[in-house]
Amino acid sequence: MANYIALIHKDADSDYGVSFPDFPGCVSAGATLDEARAMAAEALALHVEGMSEDGEAVPEPSSLEAVMRDPDSRDGVAILVDLPVTAAKVVRINITIPEDDLRLIDRFAETHGFTRSGFLVSAAKKAVLAA
């Protein structure tokens, strides 16, 4: 189980907002602190699940010191959020693909909401399962 730092922000006329420095774009909110913490855990689990499905690597948790060095982080209150889901280890590989095929793959992946890696993993799994 990994613990990731989340930052809770609160403006006078808003709910508690939660963001994850290790996962740009992973945000959540709650009307109370307890609700914000619960929603943060759910948002993190869903975000990491999506990354794994797309074949993206899940980053190692940053240290509190590293997070707080960023001036944008200093306005938030840091909490730890457990990530109980064990993400599959992602391995970087090197493959050779003709340039025209790579452009075709990239266009298809972008059009259908995949990363290049996510699309290649999805296509490979389909081929394996169909065999």
| pLDDT tens readout for residues 44-64 | 988 988 888 788 888 889 999
| pLDDT tens readout for residues 21-43 | 999 989 999 889 999 998 999 89
Q: In the chain, how many domains are there?
A: 2
| pLDDT tens readout for residues 85-131 | 555 666 778 999 999 999 999 999 888 777 788 788 888 888 888 88
Largest CA distance in the chain: 58
**Residue 74 shares a structural domain with residue 103:** no
**Residue 21 shares a structural domain with residue 51:** yes
Question: Which residues pair with residue 2 across a beta bridge?
Answer: 83
Angle 50-54-59 from CA coordinates, rounded to 5°: 70
Residue 17 class from Cβ within 10 Å (0-12 exposed, 13-18 middle, 19+ buried)? middle
In which domain, by residue range, is 112 found? Answer: 99-130
**Residue 31 shares a structural domain with residue 73:** yes
- On whether residue 70 sits in a domain, the answer given is yes
Assign 67 to helix, strand or coil: helix
**Residue 58 shares a structural domain with residue 15:** yes
Prediction pTM value: 0.63
